[in-house]
Structure 1
Amino acid sequence: MDTLKYISLIVLLIFINCKRITYTKDNSSFDNIILRDWNSSICPKKIIYERYVKNSNFKKLIKTDSIFDTRDCEEGYKTFNQRVLIPYILGTEQRFITGKIDYDVRLVLDDSLEFKITFINNKIDTVFSGGRPGDLIIMNNIKSLIVNGYKLDNTKSPLNIDIPTKLGKIIKK
């Protein structure tokens, strides 16, 4: 009798979890820029995202953007010890940074902290979206990158640019 209940439960769970696999295409270059180990109560007010021609040693500027939504600055988020910079046009879900990243990036926070990001290894790939099982997203995935001379493995956070804050170069106090 117990065996029959056990088998019935397993069969029921299998049928409940069966669903269609869904794919969503997203043309965003990345979801967020995450600055880990922020160690400051100060929230960045001015964020500049500069795109340079790849391997130009940051000499040939392509474009500058500064429209970021800063998250994790509220009182309740202090325990996470990070800052999340989201490339949104405020009030919408529209992103201004799209496609594969085939350029170098210079990220400047409040004219005082600089991150030079080069050798960005990225490709279009399919990953789990973080929702229900079977929900997949086709998007640019960042595998690795070099920030101010330090090579970072980004495979644990492929939809984001994940940078330890200590790698930032102080350009003004």
Structure 2
Amino acid sequence: MGTLKYFSYLSFILLFISCNEYNDERHSFNTILLQQWNFSNCPKKIIFEKYLKNSNFKNIIEKDSSFNIICDSINKQIIISPYEPYIDKINYDIKLIIDDDIEYEIKDIKSKLDTSFYSFSVGRKYYINYSIYSMTVNGNKSIQNNDVNIVISANDGTIKKK
């Protein structure tokens, strides 16, 4: 009877261990968070420009304005999510323009491939994405805690000259 009980426990443990699911997504980032947004208006237009790395924002690679914008007035932040995810490591500089008025020049982006897991039921679900741990926004060094989001203080923006 002891052997049957031991075998049952072992089978149960192996069931939990063997149900792991791996999702190798390799997203550059999931969202852009503009924190400390102290304005009453919600942005209507976002322009995301990719520039050749270290080109001093002269050689544009791509321009995109397909983003979902959510204004979180409770946490005073804007959540900007691309409709189509950006894949692979960020190997370019970024200019983010909000409503043609506020500009964020993001460069020196350092990221690493990272695995995070979520455990809701049997086994674990693993996600493999890039985590951003350092960048410079308009000349201000920003340190992040290995996040899959680009986190920017709204105060780091510069008013775009018209």
Task: Give TM class, smaller chain.
Answer: 0.7 to 0.9
Q: How does 1:68-79 map to 2 (within 5 A)?
A: 68-71=67-70, 73=71, 77-79=72-74
Matches of 1:147 and 1:108, distance apart in 2: 13
Q: How does 1:86-125 map to 2 (within 5 A)?
A: 86-88=81-83, 95-125=84-114
- CA root-mean-square deviation: 2.2
Count the aligned residue pairs.
Answer: 148
Matches of 1:141 and 1:149, distance apart in 2: 21
| Matched letter for residue 79 of structure 2 | V
Counting aligned pairs with the same residue, the percent is 39
TM-score, normalisation: structure 2? 0.82
Deviation at 1:47, TM superposition (A): 0.5
- 1:101-159 per-position Cα deviation (integer Å, ceiling 9, x unaligned): 0000000000100000000001222123x553722210111111110011111115x11
Kindly indicate which of the two structures has a greater share of residues assigned to strand.
Answer: 2
Matches of 1:54 and 1:41, distance apart in 2: 34
Which of 130-139 and 32-41 deviates more?
Answer: 130-139
- Structure 2 partner of 1:6: none
Gaps in structure 1 of 5+ consecutive residues: 1-10, 89-94
Deviation at 1:21, TM superposition (A): 2.8
TM-score, normalisation: structure 1? 0.78
Q: How does 1:153-168 map to 2 (within 5 A)?
A: 153-155=143-145, 158-168=147-157
Gaps in structure 2 of 5+ consecutive residues: 1-8
| Matched letter for residue 96 of structure 2 | L
Q: How does 1:142-157 map to 2 (within 5 A)?
A: 142-155=132-145
SS at match of 1:111: coil
